Chain A
Amino acid sequence: MPVFKTPFNGYSVKFSPFYESRLAVATAQNFGILGNGRVHVIDLSPSSPVINELIAFDTADGVYDVAWSESHDSVLVAAIADGSIKIYDTALPPHSNPLRSLKEHAREVHGLDYNPTRRDSFLSASWDDSVKLWTLDRPGSLRTFREHAYCVYSASWNPKHADVFASASGDCTVRIWDVREPGSTMIIPGHEHEILSCDWNKYDDCLIASASVDKSIKIWDVRNYRVPVSVLNGHGYAVRKIKFSPHRRNLIVSCSYDMTVCLWDFMVEDALVGRYDHHTEFAVGVDLSVLVDGLMASTGWDELVYVWQQGMDPRA
């Protein structure tokens, strides 16, 4: 399956919700510690094994995450390490981009999630311990959610309830929020260590997964979060990102500082379904295609983006 080489260290990869062959990749120089960033928009061509770059946008600081707009097929938002969020339109030439730069976060923006149901707003999670709610047509954020006591690494919208989202933080909690409420509605002290990622199950609006530096992934039922529904052990180091499958209820994909990408079925005893060992540095970005069942993508600090069909060898 095709491979794309990025000049900087990969940070995040996302499938377009509109085109099955299109992806956006967030990258940062010097491991995101200091230097530039670049957003790549790439296209898989069905015939050749080559990945084409459609367009790339340079940024003055590293790009930690990227999210496609759910309402405009050419628009994407990028999380920049300098605390800004930049909005790009891939249909416009580079000099017309970014459309907008939203600068409110005081520190690195680490995670973005576009609302899949309302399709008009997105969340940003930042190392300034806050989550912010934005729409494309406003220059400032609509809301700031400030309860976490340490970096917030990711935020994720509930797929059914357009006003509900979850945030994962280094303060070892996952918080559930309803944007109509002033504060968080639920605090899940999910792990003993920092929580780096969370995601909602796409079929059961009560199930949420959390991934932690403690190497584990835990599945929670928000109706009874005292005990996790399932604990997935198998990664050798901190789990960096998790994503529920849009196609299979029980399937979850994860990537980790142990340099592997893993597939899990959280309902069976031997939960680990597949392990992909193709990255040679930390695997920090992973995504599953909404449009093609089983199509996966990953990126890592080895400056490579892999796209492959589940069950195949990413390097083959």
Chain B
Amino acid sequence: MSMRELVTGGAACAVSGSSSSSSNPLGALANALIGSSSKTQERLKEIPNAAAATSHTQFYDDPVAALPGSELDHPFLQSNAQGSDFIRGFRTAHDNGLADAWDEIQRQPHLDRVYNAAPAPPIQPTLDGPPQRVLSSFLHSFVDSSRSGIPLHPTPLPLLGLSQGDKQCIRDRSSIMARHFFADKSEEFINSQVNALLSSLEIDSDSHAKGPMPGRFRELEDYWNESQGILKPGAHAADGWVTEFSQHRAQHGDPDAWAHSFEQQHGAGGWASEFEQEQAQLTLVDQMRGGNIVNLAAIEQTRMLAHTLSQNDDPKFQNSKFLQFVSKMSRGELIIDDNQVKPASGSWATEYQQQFNGGASWADEFVHDEVSHGPAQWVNEFATEREQEPVDDQWVNEFSKLHVDDWAEEFGRQVGEGALGDSSSDNWATAYDEFLNEQVASKERSDASTGVYVFSDMNPYVGHPNPLKEGQELFRKGLLSEAVLALEAEVMKNPENAEGWRLLGITHAENDDDQQAIAAMMRAQEADPTNLEVLLALGVSHTNELEQAAALKYLYGWLRHHPKYGTLALPELVDSLYYADVARLFNEAAQMSPEDADVHVVLGVLYNLSREYDKAIASFKTALKLQPNDYSLWNKLGATQANSVQSADAILAYQQQALDLKPNYVRAWANMGISYANQGMYEDSIRYYVRALAMNPKADNAWQYLRISLSCASRNDMLEACDSRNLELLQKEFPL
């Protein structure tokens, strides 16, 4: 019973035909204590002209069902009615409160902030405010961010006060809904999908209170069959428990009955003491957790889930917020743990980024989650339990009462007792080894995938007599995408040509594709490990990607191999490069020869790395005095200005300078767009992004920025054109 009901005595206090609790003095007190909402003042009214088959008083025969506003007194989840501050925040919200919350969501402040950080990696907004707004904004920014392809960084959220009921809602509803969507696959597949989703959500053992009807999910049946097959073939007929379960359902109907019958069997404190017993086994349990029983199937299925999502080419689907929401949850990227909604692991954003760039599989991190939280073992536990004690209702009690961790412990205890037999322990060990191997293998795959140069298909320059010359010519003309093809033809012909790779890398960098630029430059460095231009370019590209260690390595390499400054470099530094050391060395170099623009350029890059933008700007300006026609320097200066807090005019002027010197400099066009977006001039930013993309449709970052600007400018009508990369339409709509 909720407090209000206790105070008001429920509907029994209400008088027929008069008003509800508000006319009751105690009811008024309750309103004062608990907070009034419009619903508490509702009057029970006869339906106008309704054929009255029964008298008025009959409304009150059933106090639970008849009382208007009883939703306040009888929350759906009675067991934790008083615990849900969060949902009460929702439920007492007045119209305006809802509207405000909605406006808040609509404004999407996080997008602005993402922008302010560009081109540095997006920064997660600080989420504060009433808990329900935090959750709403979080869910929305969550799906929005994945939509724009910019990963959200893990954010500590304030306590949301999600009750068990809330968690259960999230879990149950999303799993039922997901079944509708993913069910175009086989039944087995759907079941495993739902299970993958569930196991992710069950990571928090707390959320596994007396759950939804376990029989609701058909995968139970599958797992039952499966586990029977693994542990003890033919022990029970597969459909045995289904029948049994149906019988049980017929007997009890009400899920609460399970709790009662459990208590009848064990006494109210029964399982608690059982639990204490199991605590004694903790050492063993920890051992078991170390060698976690990972459900390989679940991992595989989760991978398939993401695959299914990515398979659908329809941009509408790729953009569906719901699908992204569900898939995040199923990946364990969103977990509800310790009353907080939070990203599952600290590194998922990075991993996600890698995946986005065609690299690592997120399975790793899902696996990581499994290791740390260990869901999914309950099935085995259940199987074991069933095997040992074929008492009819017991598993239902177990399932509905026990926490995931308890199952794990229970399992651990039984393994300790040898209940499973050696052979099955070995099975688990083998399975775990396989899982480890798989993890290692996928890690290797992901490492290999960065830094691998990806060639274009259908290159018309293959077979060209002198593709290097052609490439240089195209580059000079600013036809960067064409130049890429010609230079690719060159390095395919002469893989050891460092100059070919270097030019290719520079072309990619100017075309705003740092991944390919790095890959090409690494090949150039392989061919010529001491080429200064290559080392400098690698340093810059890694700085752009905010990979400090790699950037330092190459910038230091530049110094070490430089004929003039090589003496400054201390060989012992190579293994442990610190930013301060490298910066100090370059400052020495700058003092040695203040007329060397390159040194100032490197210093500018270094200061970008340490986010000392004022110093960086000074360095670039010095370099520009020495080399006023270097368009890439103007661009660097503009980009640095954009990162620091500088007047908008200055930024645009520098970018414009770069563009005047080199009109087809894709990166400068994109940076112009970013500059405009930073000032909130989204329509203008769109025009620059579109121009950049018209020159290089492969600039993925620019597509993401464009998408953000479109939504910030409320040009949602063009999002589809953006998603389908319909440049023709975009150029028509946003001419520059």
Contact = CB atoms under 8 A, between A and B. Distances in A.
Interface stretch (B43-51, B430-438, B454-462): B43-51
B180 A34 contact: no
B44 A34 contact: no
B716 to A, nearest CB: 9
A32 B54 contact: no
A31 B68 contact: no
A138 B320 CA distance: 42
Nearest to A315: B717
B282 interface: no
B123 to A, nearest CB: 24
Contacts of B53: 135, 137-138
A149 interface: yes
Contacts of B139: 30
Interface stretch (A91-99, A175-183, A247-255): A91-99
A140 B187 contact: no
A35 B90 contact: yes
- Sorting the interface of chain A by its residue count into under 10, 10 to 19, 20 to 34 or 35 or more gives 35 or more
A252 B53 CA distance: 37
Interface string B32-51: 00000010011111011111
A221 interface: no
Contacts of B42: 95-98
Contacts of B58: 138-139
Given A32-B177, A60-B71, A83-B76, A94 B38 contact: yes
A101 B142 CA distance: 35
Which of B43, B139, B173, B174 neighbours the largest number of chain A CB atoms within 10 Å of its CB? B173
A170 B177 CA distance: 11
B345 to A, nearest CB: 22
Interface stretch (B93-101, B485-493, B685-693, B698-706): B93-101
B649 interface: no
- Sorting the interface of chain B by its residue count into under 10, 10 to 19, 20 to 34 or 35 or more gives 35 or more
Interface stretch (A12-20, A154-162, A190-198, A289-297): A190-198
Chain A residues touching B, majority SS: loop
A187 interface: no
B61 A31 contact: no
A196 B65 contact: no
A281 interface: yes
Which of B61, B65, B68, B136 neighbours the largest number of chain A CB atoms within 10 Å of its CB? B65
B98 A58 contact: yes
A22 interface: no
Contact of A139 (B60, B136, B179): B60
A120 interface: yes
A29 B91 CA distance: 12
Nearest to B63: A139
A36 B90 CA distance: 7
B87 A60 contact: yes
Interface string A209-233: 0000111000000000000000000
Contact of B181 (A101, A192, A238): A238
What 5 pairs across the A-B complex have the smallest Cβ distances? Answer: A139-B66, A60-B91, A82-B76, A213-B183, A7-B102
Given A31-B177, A103-B74, 10 more contacts: A34-B166, A82-B76, A84-B71, A102-B65, A137-B47, A137-B54, A150-B216, A259-B316, A281-B321, A282-B320
30 contacts: A31-B321, A33-B169, A33-B173, A33-B177, A36-B93, A36-B98, A38-B98, A56-B95, A58-B98, A59-B71, A82-B76, A91-B48, A92-B45, A94-B38, A94-B95, A95-B41, A100-B66, A103-B64, A120-B51, A135-B53, A137-B50, A137-B51, A139-B58, A140-B66, A151-B216, A193-B183, A193-B190, A196-B180, A259-B320, A281-B322
